[in-house]
């Protein structure tokens, strides 16, 4: 196995990249993907360098490629192809982009009349916070823990849309402290958006590529209500009452 250290390391690296690239939905932002692959690269190198024999086996094909006379043709190919690939990547990263004309999108699209929540229909228009999930100290404390465990990375420590991953996302995460976001929405609307995430947006909301997960796949109904309650409490806003304004 040590003799195969280099091809095995390359295979592991490609397998991790493929799993993250094609096996995770919604797609991982580019900068986050780069971070994960950097960690993977460091982990592989640490494993290889931890054993002297494994290190020699890992380097042997590279040393042979650079020294052996019978490998002159492959060596020449590598010396040509690698700079070309690096040059193309650099050019593609810095070349001017001719983006299509701006296309407006609906920030708060019209919600569906109902949506599937853990196998049952939830009425967005006439629904309400279930009994036992009221806004109290216990639920707010639970909502705060859930927010900082799951939502803070995008929406920020201060709920202002400036989380660690925010700059890698398009559109940017919602700034809950902006009076144009949750302050304009009914509580059930926010519950729908959190529950269904980016994939739950209707066709009328395009062009969207929101990276928000479908949180009902990870949280219970009670936990989602607790997060919604905490977001309103932490920002000092109250949900818009049904019928107090037209549309969303």
Within-domain flag for 19: yes
Residue 247 lies in a domain: no
For residues 186 and 241, is the Cβ–Cβ distance under 8 A? yes
Q: 135 and 37 in one domain? A: no
Name the 3-class secondary structure at 44: helix
Position 241 in a domain: no
Q: Are residues 70 and 171 in the same domain?
A: no
153, 207: one domain: yes
Average pLDDT, the chain: 87
**Contacts by 5-12 with C-beta closer than 8 Å and gap 24+?**
5/48, 5/54, 5/55, 5/57, 5/58, 6/57, 6/58, 6/59, 6/60, 6/61, 6/62, 9/44, 9/47, 9/48, 9/58, 12/40, 12/44
Domain contains 159: yes
**Residues 25, 128: one domain?**
no
pLDDT per residue over 46-79, tens digit each? 999 998 988 998 898 888 888 888 888 988 998 8
Domain co-membership, 35 together with 83: yes
Same structural domain, 119 and 223: yes
Per-residue confidence (pLDDT) for residue 115, from 0 to 100: 93
Residues 64 and 159 in one domain: no
Average pLDDT over residues 26-31: 76
Domain that holds residue 172: 114-235
Same domain, 51 and 89: yes
CATH for 191: 1.10.760.10
pTM summary value? 0.57
Kindly state whether residue 242 falls inside one of the protein's structural domains: no
């Amino acid at each position: 196995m040590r003799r195969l250290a280099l091809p095995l390391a390359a295979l592991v690296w490609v397998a991790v990249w493929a799993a993250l690239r094609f096996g995770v939905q919604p797609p991982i932002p580019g900068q986050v993907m780069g971070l994960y692959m950097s960690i993977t690269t460091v982990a592989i190198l640490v494993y290889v360098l931890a054993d002297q024999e494994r290190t020699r086996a890992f380097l042997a094909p590279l040393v042979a490629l650079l020294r052996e006379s019978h490998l002159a043709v492959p060596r020449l190919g590598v010396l040509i192809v690698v700079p070309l690939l690096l040059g193309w990547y650099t050019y593609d990263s810095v070349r001017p982009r001719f983006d299509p004309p701006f296309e407006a999108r609906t920030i708060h699209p019209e919600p569906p009349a109902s949506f599937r929540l853990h196998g049952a229909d939830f009425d967005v228009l006439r629904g309400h916070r279930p009994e036992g999930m009221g806004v109290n100290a216990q639920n707010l404390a639970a909502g705060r823990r859930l927010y900082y465990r799951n939502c803070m990375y995008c929406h920020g420590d201060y709920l202002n849309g400036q989380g660690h991953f925010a700059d890698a996302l398009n559109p940017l995460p919602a700034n809950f402290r902006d009076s144009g976001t949750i302050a304009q929405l009914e509580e059930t609307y926010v519950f729908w958006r959190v529950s269904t995430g980016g994939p739950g947006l209707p066709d009328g909301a395009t062009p969207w590529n929101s990276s928000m997960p479908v949180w009902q796949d990870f949280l219970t109904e009670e936990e989602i209500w607790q997060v919604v309650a905490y977001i309103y409490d932490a920002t000092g806003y109250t949900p818009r009452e049904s019928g107090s304004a037209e549309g969303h």
